[in-house]
A and B are shown apart, each in its own frame.
Chain A
Amino acid sequence: MRWLMGFVCVGVLLAFVGQAQILRIAFDAADLKTLDPHYAAATMDRAVVDMLFNGLVRYRPGDITVFEPDLAESWEVSTDGLTWTFHLRRGVQVHPFPGAPEGYELTSEDVVFSLHKAADKDRSAYAGEYVGMRFEAVDPYTVRIILDKALSPSLFLPKVADYAGGFIVPKGPYEALGPRFATNPVGTGPFQFAEYVPTQKVRLVRNDRYFRGAPLLAGVEVWYVPDVTARLSALVTGEVHMIEGVREQAWVEAVKRMSGVVVDVFGPGETEVLHLNMSKDPVSDLRVRQAIAYALSREEVITAIGPDVAEPLCAAVPPYLAGGLACAEVAEKGLLYETNLELARNLLAAAGYPNGFEISAYITERASYRKPFENVQAQLARVGIRLNITVVDHSSFHTLIRQDVNPLVHYEAWRPSADAFLTRFYHSASIVVTGAKPDTNFSHVTAVDGLIEAARYELDPARQAELWKEAQVKLLEELASYPLYVLKFVFARSEKVDYGYELKSSLALYPQVTELTRLK
């Protein structure tokens, strides 16, 4: 309690002198969903847990292509690739929580507890990532992870990085708070949780004992403002310093022209893919899927969104990931399906639909799905494919597509590796409704199971990437999906905000706030 009062006093004082370094960020959300990092999936939730928690290793802030130490100072892997040993940093303090007003030092017991939690499907949404792993505390500062089958570093390290299941949830506060943990999270990060006002905001304060040094900001407030015009006016009037923008070029360009406002367009971005449901007539016919592909113009959809924000995606795995397939490589294989309406009509005729056909699909009200889908609708109409769209709210959409009702599913996703993309969207076990572990295989494709599994346990990175690429070529031949583009993230900020690092890409899906972030 004393620390809290201390913070209140400091806060009041700082407010009086007008120097309060409180960074306010407004997100496109009506409220938080959960702040348990092992469940947090939406942008606004990932952002908050990113400021509160650490992983064993972390993606370098602003650049996700580099891993660097986080809670672990160093790590090594045995020559057989089965045993990973992590040496923990000493003196890492868990934030204060009820029952421990000073917090306590994080040890291997907490790390092992957290990994077990992440691997437990009743306490984590990412349990599937940790199948076939054992976790051991060798001593208070050493953690060992033993794998049933060896994994390459590019597949293993993301599982223990500062993302999703890799966030370390300390045992003490999780057990003390029980179900309240989801709205009263306690971690080890640069900021600690102070207050949650439902549908309004979450308030975080500086963790003075953060192991990388006390943050420059006194605190961070995360506001929930679902209306983009309201967010933008809050930014312009100085009420907030940073907002989630509209991921379209026209918006970026208009807001860039405003004085005192900087717009960041950054990666890695989410893939926007049209999944073609091979279990539904007439899409089940390969010729029909080819007709759809030849009818579509990727370039036109990208133009509708804007080429600075949407980059072409020609295969299942985006080219920035190991094993991703660039458009040039797809072109070399002759699998670009460049727009050819004549050919599309002929293919439809050959499949027995000389006058096209009619199909119906649900789409969410969210503009980043609805707008490209409406463009696809208009494009398909040119070859006589009449796509009827029913707009529903976002969560209904997610429920409906998982019940396998759509012949075409537009899906927006980011996954940390080629394996995750391929397994979750194209492995037969992931087929919606009927798969062994129903997930997001909307196309019902089964042709690449072997390649996905072979790649997963391939330790030679070059050979692994080859297998992943082979799987994607096969998917393009089968036309399980028509990849559209990679949609980057768009945030606008006051020019006063200095991130403290160079922003190229962020896995936290927002420009990360670190101990070095400040208001100029």
Chain B
Amino acid sequence: MRSRRVRAFLRNRTAVAGAVLAAAVILAALVAPAVAPHDPLIQDVYNMLAPPGGPHPLGTDDLGRDVLSRILYGARVSITVGVFSVLIGTGMGALVGLMAGYFGGPLELGMMRVVDILMSFPVLVMGLMFMAILGTGMDKLIVAIGLVLTPQIARLAHGAVVALREMEYITAARAAGAGPWRILRRHVLPNVAGEILVMATLWMATAIRVEANLSFIGLGVSPPTPTWGNMIREGVRWLVVTPWLSVFPGLAILIAVLGFNMVGDGLRDAMDPKLL
């Protein structure tokens, strides 16, 4: 069963290509200090806005910092924010969704209406809202994006549990004396984990995009830490002079978002029994 899914995933060329892109971004984040040609924070104002080529393969920014190195280090921020915010979102979302779905009644009604209300806001607007409350900084960015993702995962987990909770084996487990937490952990969670994993991968792409968006409008990580969104934002002033300042980090975002989306889609297809 499991190997069949793996094979289905590997047969899907788009998914494999996505995995390669996503792996490249993760790798860049991991090995940035080893492969970056320069220190991303070192300013060389005597060599500002240098065009791509030579010692600076992707040129330098308006303070003479190496763009390639900043993009590599920027991957660390994107991946860190992506991974941790998705962990927070998935953890909280799964908890809310499983509880609401399993216990039902007024608890379900209350929780899911709150989820519905939160889901009616566009992701970016919610991100803005939380950032406005929390303030700027990487930790706050992670919490804010995690909160944004929570209702999405909660809805998914809830739907899955509602379908499961009337199944005979759940009733059997209950009849055998298992408590609700045991049933949720042992019998429900394993059955929805796959779907949540797919969702988490897809939302990883969204988390990276939201992080870039928030950084672009100045609500992200503080300078001098390079992030892709900050880099685009700083480059915008120079669009007519040195467009690469915005174009290269833009490409990096494209690669990361495309990669995680393609992996997510591939995982979904591989998990879908109808397609096997």
Cβ–Cβ contact A374 & B223, under 8 A: yes
Chain A 244-268 interface mask (CB, 8 Å, partner B; 1/0) = 0010101100110000000000000
B43 within 8 A of A: yes
Query: A300-B45, A304-B48, A370-B223 are known contacts. Are A375 and B63 too (CB-CB below 8 A)?
Result: yes
List, in ascending order, chain A residues with CB within 8 A of B64's CB: 304
User: Please, how many angstroms separate the alpha-carbon atoms of A248 and B223 in the complex?
Assistant: 20
- Nearest CB to that of B241 among chain A residues? A254
List, in ascending order, chain A residues with CB within 8 A of B223's CB: 370, 374, 377, 389, 391
A232 within 8 A of B: yes
User: Please, how many angstroms separate the alpha-carbon atoms of A248 and B242 in the complex?
Assistant: 13
Chain A 273-311 interface mask (CB, 8 Å, partner B; 1/0) = 000000000000000000000000000110110000000
B4 within 8 A of A: no
User: Please, how many angstroms separate the alpha-carbon atoms of A377 and B222 in the complex?
Assistant: 12
A31 within 8 A of B: no
List, in ascending order, chain A residues with CB within 8 A of B136's CB: 390-392
A-side interface size class: 20 to 34
B118 within 8 A of A: no
Give the Cβ gap from B238 to chain A, nearest Cβ, in Å.
7
Residue in A304, A378, A390 whose beta carbon sits within 8 Å of that of B224 in the complex: A378
- Nearest CB to that of A392 among chain B residues? B136
Residue in A250, A365, A378 whose beta carbon sits within 8 Å of that of B62 in the complex: A250
User: Please, how many angstroms separate the alpha-carbon atoms of A304 and B65 in the complex?
Assistant: 11
Cβ–Cβ contact B224 & A374, under 8 A: yes
User: Please, how many angstroms separate the alpha-carbon atoms of A24 and B62 in the complex?
Assistant: 30
Give the Cβ gap from B144 to chain A, nearest Cβ, in Å.
16
A371 within 8 A of B: yes
A13 within 8 A of B: no
Query: A248-B62, A250-B62 are known contacts. Are A303 and B238 too (CB-CB below 8 A)?
Result: no
List, in ascending order, chain A residues with CB within 8 A of B176's CB: none
Cβ–Cβ contact B240 & A254, under 8 A: yes
Give the Cβ gap from B73 to chain A, nearest Cβ, in Å.
15
- Nearest CB to that of A365 among chain B residues? B218
List, in ascending order, chain B residues with CB within 8 A of A300's CB: 45
Cβ–Cβ contact B63 & A304, under 8 A: yes
Residue in B63, B224, B239 whose beta carbon sits within 8 Å of that of A229 in the complex: B239
A102 within 8 A of B: no
List, in ascending order, chain B residues with CB within 8 A of A303's CB: 45-46
List, in ascending order, chain B residues with CB within 8 A of A251's CB: 237-238, 241
B41 within 8 A of A: yes
In terms of DSSP, what is the predominant structure of the interface of chain A? Answer: helix
Chain B 32-72 interface mask (CB, 8 Å, partner A; 1/0) = 00000000011101101100000000000011100000000
List, in ascending order, chain B residues with CB within 8 A of A227's CB: 236
Give the Cβ gap from A493 to chain B, nearest Cβ, in Å.
16
- Nearest CB to that of A370 among chain B residues? B223
Chain A 204-232 interface mask (CB, 8 Å, partner B; 1/0) = 00000000000000000000000111001
A148 within 8 A of B: no
Cβ–Cβ contact A250 & B48, under 8 A: yes
- Nearest CB to that of A250 among chain B residues? B49
Cβ–Cβ contact B45 & A367, under 8 A: no
In terms of DSSP, what is the predominant structure of the interface of chain B? Answer: loop
Query: A371-B62, A374-B63 are known contacts. Are A389 and B222 too (CB-CB below 8 A)?
Result: yes
Cβ–Cβ contact A246 & B237, under 8 A: yes
A388 within 8 A of B: yes
A393 within 8 A of B: yes
Scan residues 451-506 of chain A and give those whose CB is less than 8 A from a CB of chain B: none
Cβ–Cβ contact A377 & B224, under 8 A: yes
User: Please, how many angstroms separate the alpha-carbon atoms of A365 and B222 in the complex?
Assistant: 10
Scan residues 331-389 of chain A and give those whose CB is less than 8 A from a CB of chain B: 365, 367, 370-371, 374-375, 377-378, 381, 388-389
User: Please, how many angstroms separate the alpha-carbon atoms of A224 and B64 in the complex?
Assistant: 31
List, in ascending order, chain A residues with CB within 8 A of B218's CB: 365, 391, 393
Residue in A232, A378, A390 whose beta carbon sits within 8 Å of that of B63 in the complex: A378
Give the Cβ gap from B108 to chain A, nearest Cβ, in Å.
41
User: Please, how many angstroms separate the alpha-carbon atoms of A244 and B110 in the complex?
Assistant: 53
User: Please, how many angstroms separate the alpha-carbon atoms of A255 and B241 in the complex?
Assistant: 8
List, in ascending order, chain B residues with CB within 8 A of A250's CB: 48-49, 62, 238, 241-242
Cβ–Cβ contact A378 & B222, under 8 A: no
Cβ–Cβ contact A232 & B224, under 8 A: no
Interface centre among B63, B222, B223 (most CB of A within 10 A): B223
User: Which B residues fall within an 8 A CB radius of A?
Assistant: 41-43, 45-46, 48-49, 62-64, 136-137, 218, 222-224, 236-242
User: Which A residues fall within an 8 A CB radius of B?
Assistant: 227-229, 232, 246, 248, 250-251, 254-255, 300-301, 303-304, 365, 367, 370-371, 374-375, 377-378, 381, 388-393
Q: Which 3 A-B pairs have the closest CB atoms?
A: A304-B45, A254-B241, A378-B43
A-B pairs with beta carbons under 8 Å apart, 7 shown: A228-B236, A303-B46, A371-B62, A375-B43, A378-B43, A378-B224, A388-B222
With A371-B63, A390-B222 known, 16 other A-B pairs at CB within 8 A are A227-B236, A229-B239, A232-B240, A250-B238, A303-B45, A304-B62, A304-B64, A374-B43, A375-B43, A378-B41, A378-B42, A388-B222, A389-B224, A391-B223, A392-B136, A393-B218
